[in-house]
Amino acid sequence: MTAQVGIVGVAGRMGAELVKTVGTEGSAVLAAAVDRPGGSAIGKDSGTLVGRHANGIAVSPDLRAVVSGLDVVIDFSRAEAVATTADICAEAGVALMIGTTGLDADAQRRIDAAARRIPVLVSANTSLALNVLLELVRRAARALPDSYDIEIFEAHHRHKVDAPSGTALVLGQAAAEGRSIDLERAGLTGSTPGARAAGTIGFSVVRGGDVVGEHDVRFLGAGEQLRLSHIATDRAIFARGALAAALWLVGRPANRYQMADFLFEKQ
Ligand code: NAD
**pLDDT per position in the chain (267 positions), as tens?**
899 999 999 999 999 999 999 988 889 999 999 999 999 999 999 999 999 999 999 999 999 999 999 999 999 999 999 999 999 999 999 999 999 988 899 999 999 999 999 999 999 889 999 999 999 999 999 999 999 999 999 999 998 877 888 889 999 999 999 999 998 888 777 666 678 888 889 999 999 999 989 999 999 999 999 999 999 999 899 999 999 999 999 999 999 999 999 998 865
pLDDT at 190: 67
128 alpha carbon to ligand 1 midpoint, in Å?
19
pLDDT at 237: 94
pLDDT at 191: 63
Helix (H) or strand (E) holding 49: helix 46-49
Helix (H) or strand (E) holding 248: helix 236-249
What is the CA angle 168-170-171, rounded to 5?
Answer: 65
Sign of CA dihedral 31, 41, 246, 106: negative
State the Cα–Cα distance between residues 145 and 101, nearest whole angstrom.
Answer: 34
Judged on CB neighbours under 10 Å (0-12, 13-18, 19+), 21 is buried
What is the CA angle 132-204-156, rounded to 5?
Answer: 70
State the Cα–Cα distance between residues 202 and 195, nearest whole angstrom.
Answer: 13
Nearest to 226 by CA among 163, 160, 140, 159: 140
Q: Which backbone phi and psi does 22 adopt, to 5 degrees?
A: -60, -35
DSSP state of 52: S
State the Cα–Cα distance between residues 153 and 44, nearest whole angstrom.
Answer: 42
pLDDT at 159: 87
What's the first-to-final CA gap in the chain, in angstroms?
19
Pick the atom of ligand 1 nearest to 85's CA. Answer: 19
DSSP state of 117: T
pLDDT at 40: 97
Q: Whose CA is nearest to atom 15 of ligand 1?
A: 36
Q: Whose CA is nearest to atom 22 of ligand 1?
A: 36
Is 156 assigned a catalytic role? yes
Residue from 77, 100, 169 to probe ligand 1 pocket by mutation (most atoms less than 8 Å from CB) = 77
Residue from 21, 84, 88, 101 to probe ligand 1 pocket by mutation (most atoms less than 8 Å from CB) = 101
Q: Which backbone phi and psi does 64 adopt, to 5 degrees?
A: -60, -35
Q: Whose CA is nearest to atom 17 of ligand 1?
A: 36
Ligand 1 binding site (Cβ under 6 Å of any ligand atom): 8-9, 11-15, 34-36, 39, 76-78, 81, 99-102, 123-126, 238
- Per-residue CA distances from 1 to 6, 71, 214 (Å): 16, 11, 37
- Which of 20, 160, 215, 230 is flagged as catalytic? 160
Beta strands 255-257 and 119-122 are: parallel
Is 230 assigned a catalytic role? no
